[in-house]
Structure 1
Amino acid sequence: MTSALRTPSPEPRLLSKPVLAWGMWDWGSAAFNAVVTTFVFTTYLTRTPAFGGEAHVSAQLSWWISGAGVIIALLAPVTGQRADRSGRRKFWLGVNTYLVVAATAGLAFVAPEPDLLWLGLFLLAAGNIFFEFASVNYNAMLGQISTPATIGKISGFGWGLGYIAGIVLLVILYVSLIGPDVGIFGITSDNGWDVRISMLIAAAWLGLSAIPVLRVIPEAPGTAAPGAKIGILGSYKKLGRDLVGLWRDDRTTARFLIASAIFRDGLAGVFTFAGVLAVGTFGFSGGDVILFGIAANVVAGVVTIASGRLDDRFGPRTVIMAALIGLVTFGVVVFVLHDGGHTVFWIFGLGLAAFVGPAQSASRSFLARIIPPGKEGELFGLYATTGRAVSFIAPAAFGIAVTLGGAQYFGILGLILVIALGLALMIPVRLPQSVR
């Protein structure tokens, strides 16, 4: 297969202007990933009694996010395909990014009132949809600013920046607004203003960080012949034909999409349930969880950036396999030593964090290396779709394991099994000789 990577001129360096501009979007994405969906806004909804109680809000949240996932699964490949054909990849990256900015800023209007829960959930779901659409086009740009010799470290650099930025922004918000009784400019938690102002800061963080990639990286040429336009229905027909052809002619890519969907869901489960396990099984307080989250993201960021060089030297498959083996091993240790309290979770929990980022970054690198020219948006759209299609597996495995085991820590085994399944599915997947 012909590689999708195009050799830019001059040869891209890790700290070159195009790479830094591209990586700044990953840096800015932490505002949505860490602040909105993980540590700040979603916890504001679930812990604020005025919204209806933790169980009610959690259930509503899961339904809205699941609905967003269905929309992403249905539309991501087609939006990516149409961006490829039209040569407007950067344009749609900008449109979708600033729709995320708008949704994030809109969360500032979600005061702790029962009638405003729907607004918070709607904006969260919309933000998730547009963030995934933006990510499809952003990931598709990786081949434009890298070569086969540098793609691993550039992918790792961007992913690592996202982890580190999450910590920087969380610390800023915690110290200035959320942690103190009276924050900057006299802002307090009354009426949720500490969190609501944090949403405006997060929106500004993403909006400003997205500017460099939109100014520096050129628009990719379109793949459609002049005057050859197809509608939405035609796009789905073309997608269907491409999927049949992918399975018939390129089993490596098809099998990788399946395997990566499974293990990426397991990786997401590690972060999703880490805080729950820290509190319920290992006795962490809310403050302990924040400190652990900061440390875990620092570790993940540093190791992910470093792993990029291993990706380029030994190949992304080697990094993925090593990271997944490490996750299974450390997960088993955490399960066996669950009575060890804080010390066990700090040591081996940070070990788990060290393996998650490299697996994510090398997965992006693997796909970018094997995509045919002009298919980047479509296949990264499929990458998003396959991930969303199985996103129920890790939560279900966690819940079933807890139910069968009768204790929360059995959920660790559920996550281990999902990651182990992804590892097993990766064994027969190998890079074509032409792109090694």
Structure 2
Amino acid sequence: MPARSAARTPRPSPDDASGAPAPPHLRRQVTAWSLWDWGGAAFNAVVTTFVFTPWLTSDTFVEAGKDVDAVTARHSAWLGWGLTVAGVLIAVLAPALGALADRSGRRKLWLGANSAVVFVTMLALWFVEPVPGHLSRAVVLGVVLLSVGNVFYELAGVAYNALLLQISTPRTIGRISGIGWGAGYVGGIVLLLILFVGFINPDVGWFGVTDDHGLDFRVSMVIAALWFGIFAIPVLVVVQERRKPPFTGGVSEPAAAETAATGHGARRARGLGAVAAAYRQLFRDLARLWRTSRSTLGFLVASAVFRDGLAGVFTFGAVIASGTFGFSSSEVIVFAIAANVVAGICTVSAGWLDDRIGPRRVVIGSLVGLVVAGTAVFVLHDGGQTPFWIFGLLLSAFVGPAQSASRALLGRLAEPGRETEIFGLYATTGRAASFLAPFAFSTLVSLTGHQYWGILGIVAVLVLGLVLLLLVRLPRGRGIGGLRDVDSAGATA
């Protein structure tokens, strides 16, 4: 397997190789970049995980006299289908839009445009009102808005992740990636606390808000939208976008004439022609990836599997806490806050460890910890809430580091000028495997008739991803193996 060159285009960093303090303008860029993750918690933690989707599939949207279990199951199925369609759209659109962003060199424009659509869809959740006689229609509206928001949030994340390469070096990318993930978890904690204390938990919340017509949840969505919109602005204003460097080697090394022709064609392309040109280049890039850097392709496949397992931990965590361990709705949110605290602390800490020992070791260690903790949750399913608090928080401790180190590892593998396309592939492969954890969870629950067996389905996906990662031989250099590996090249790890 060919080794990849360790040559990199210099990047600004929050500290230099000697550990000297960063210039103030570079520290500001890192802070501004991290604030997008902080604000993104409004969509991840509040809308898609702990607040809006549980409310949308609850008995609040069941007409009087109807079978509650049957109707809520049907609404849950609608939610699943909506997110499935969103996942397909992301898989199709992410690489092409990433390619166009790379060619134009205007990643912040793509980030801003997609973030604006997410803001609007979140704001529109105010109109999801549980009015008797129109409850199913409200659920459909909620599913559509949530699905659209998911598509554009993921597309924004492609450009956002690519900007990580603008503000870091191989020595600091893990640390900065961890800061971003940690900021997301802390932002989720703060916002969940505000909404829980101010609107969702009390009978009469701040400003006299009650639960009439779902006002408490609808106001919470408006606040979440404003939270996301405000904290999405700094990265667009502060981070300095650099021109893309010329391609000099590795997976993205087309011939000079081909590169010139592609650039000329991209400038002239309009509408569907631009998208078609991007896909033609995408297929050429995939072919080169297969020929010259199968390790990167192998990592994309392995990460798609284990990242779906990571998503399954949070997607079904609240369901398992409630259905198997007897948590109430308020207790689920309290656990969510505690889980975000643990995940945030561990993610930031693991970012420093990432730069010391390398992201591959951090990912492997995190996956092993997840498998052990998940198995313990299954074995102790009838032990009451205490086992879930212990091992559920342990799961939270490993999820963030695995996510952050995975992103940092891909950043180290990415070739200059093709970062957004690589992260587009990252999103695409992740979505291509996004059915694994839900399928494994639902299959085991259906076969056994017991919810707790679904835990093993998620663990099985994590194990598969771990095995695939262990089979990938990654190139040395660029910090993949830690600080001592930054300047080495020509071998595999």
Is the structural similarity TM-score above 0.5?
A: yes
Name 1:50's counterpart in structure 2.
61
Give the Cα–Cα distance (whole angstroms) in 2 for the partners of residues 173 and 288 of structure 1: 14
Give the Cα–Cα distance (whole angstroms) in 1 for the partners of residues 401 and 409 of structure 2: 12
Report the more deviating stretch, 313-322 or 210-219. 210-219
Structure with a larger share of its residues in helix? 1
**Number of residue equivalences:** 436
Structure 2 residue aligned with 1:281, among 324, 335, 345?
324
CA distances 1:75-106 after superposition (whole Å, capped 9, x unpaired): 00010010000011011100101110011001
Q: How does 1:298-313 map to 2 (within 5 A)?
A: 298-313=341-356
Corresponding letter in the other structure for 2:10: R
Q: Does 1:376 align with 2:419?
A: yes
Cα offset, 1:57, TM superposition: 1.2
Q: How does 1:209-248 map to 2 (within 5 A)?
A: 209-222=231-244, 227-229=264-266, 230=269, 231-248=274-291
Q: Which has the higher contact order (CA 8 A, sep 6+)?
A: 1
Q: How does 1:33-432 map to 2 (within 5 A)?
A: 33-50=44-61, 53-113=71-131, 114=134, 115-222=137-244, 227-229=264-266, 230=269, 231-432=274-475
Query: 2:13, 2:172 within 8 Å by CA — same for their partners in 1?
Result: no
- Check 1:413–1:283 CA distance in 2 against 1; reply closer, same or farther (3 A cut): same
- Check 1:411–1:9 CA distance in 2 against 1; reply closer, same or farther (3 A cut): closer
- Check 1:5–1:61 CA distance in 2 against 1; reply closer, same or farther (3 A cut): farther
Give the Cα–Cα distance (whole angstroms) in 2 for the partners of residues 82 and 236 of structure 1: 10
Structure 1 residue aligned with 2:11, among 7, 10, 16?
7
Cα offset, 1:5, TM superposition: 6.2
Cα offset, 1:9, TM superposition: 6.2
Structure 1 residue aligned with 2:34, among 12, 19, 23?
23
Give the Cα–Cα distance (whole angstroms) in 1 for the partners of residues 327 and 160 of structure 2: 37
Corresponding letter in the other structure for 2:242: A
Give the Cα–Cα distance (whole angstroms) in 2 for the partners of residues 344 and 99 of structure 1: 41
Report the more deviating stretch, 50-59 or 91-100. 50-59
Corresponding letter in the other structure for 2:311: A
TM-score after normalising by structure 2: 0.85
Cα offset, 1:415, TM superposition: 0.9
Corresponding letter in the other structure for 1:182: V
Corresponding letter in the other structure for 1:23: S
TM-score after normalising by structure 1: 0.96
Report the more deviating stretch, 211-220 or 114-123. 114-123
- Check 1:147–1:262 CA distance in 2 against 1; reply closer, same or farther (3 A cut): same
Give the Cα–Cα distance (whole angstroms) in 2 for the partners of residues 43 and 408 of structure 1: 17
The alignment partner of 1:426 has SS state of helix
Give the Cα–Cα distance (whole angstroms) in 1 for the partners of residues 301 and 98 of structure 2: 19
Query: 1:334, 1:344 within 8 Å by CA — same for their partners in 2?
Result: yes
Q: What value does the CA root-mean-square deviation take over the aligned residues? A: 1.7
Query: 1:28, 1:207 within 8 Å by CA — same for their partners in 2?
Result: yes
Give the Cα–Cα distance (whole angstroms) in 1 for the partners of residues 204 and 341 of structure 2: 27
Cα offset, 1:2, TM superposition: 4.3
The alignment partner of 1:427 has SS state of helix
Query: 1:5, 1:368 within 8 Å by CA — same for their partners in 2?
Result: no
Give the Cα–Cα distance (whole angstroms) in 2 for the partners of residues 49 and 347 of structure 1: 31
The alignment partner of 1:339 has SS state of coil
CA distances 1:309-330 after superposition (whole Å, capped 9, x unpaired): 1100000000000000011111
Query: 2:86, 2:148 within 8 Å by CA — same for their partners in 1?
Result: yes
Give the Cα–Cα distance (whole angstroms) in 2 for the partners of residues 361 and 137 of structure 1: 16
Cα offset, 1:130, TM superposition: 0.6
Cα offset, 1:51, TM superposition: 5.7
Report the more deviating stretch, 225-234 or 398-407. 225-234
Report the more deviating stretch, 15-24 or 85-94. 15-24
- Check 1:375–1:2 CA distance in 2 against 1; reply closer, same or farther (3 A cut): farther
Report the more deviating stretch, 280-289 or 50-59. 50-59
Give the Cα–Cα distance (whole angstroms) in 2 for the partners of residues 10 and 302 of structure 1: 20
Uncovered stretches (5+) of structure 1, i.e. residues with no partner: none
Give the Cα–Cα distance (whole angstroms) in 2 for the partners of residues 2 and 284 of structure 1: 52
Corresponding letter in the other structure for 1:181: D
Corresponding letter in the other structure for 2:56: L
Give the Cα–Cα distance (whole angstroms) in 1 for the partners of residues 461 and 316 of structure 2: 14
Report the more deviating stretch, 351-360 or 216-225. 216-225
Corresponding letter in the other structure for 2:112: G
CA distances 1:385-411 after superposition (whole Å, capped 9, x unpaired): 101111110011112222333422111
Report the more deviating stretch, 357-366 or 104-113. 104-113
Query: 2:42, 2:225 within 8 Å by CA — same for their partners in 1?
Result: yes
Query: 1:110, 1:119 within 8 Å by CA — same for their partners in 2?
Result: yes
Cα offset, 1:433, TM superposition: 1.7
Cα offset, 1:348, TM superposition: 1.0
The alignment partner of 1:291 has SS state of helix
Query: 2:14, 2:30 within 8 Å by CA — same for their partners in 1?
Result: no
Give the Cα–Cα distance (whole angstroms) in 1 for the partners of residues 83 and 413 of structure 2: 31
Structure with higher Rg: it is: 2
Report the more deviating stretch, 280-289 or 215-224. 215-224
- Check 1:9–1:263 CA distance in 2 against 1; reply closer, same or farther (3 A cut): closer
- Check 1:189–1:431 CA distance in 2 against 1; reply closer, same or farther (3 A cut): same
Cα offset, 1:11, TM superposition: 3.7
Give the Cα–Cα distance (whole angstroms) in 2 for the partners of residues 46 and 273 of structure 1: 14
Cα offset, 1:48, TM superposition: 4.3
Give the Cα–Cα distance (whole angstroms) in 1 for the partners of residues 458 and 365 of structure 2: 17
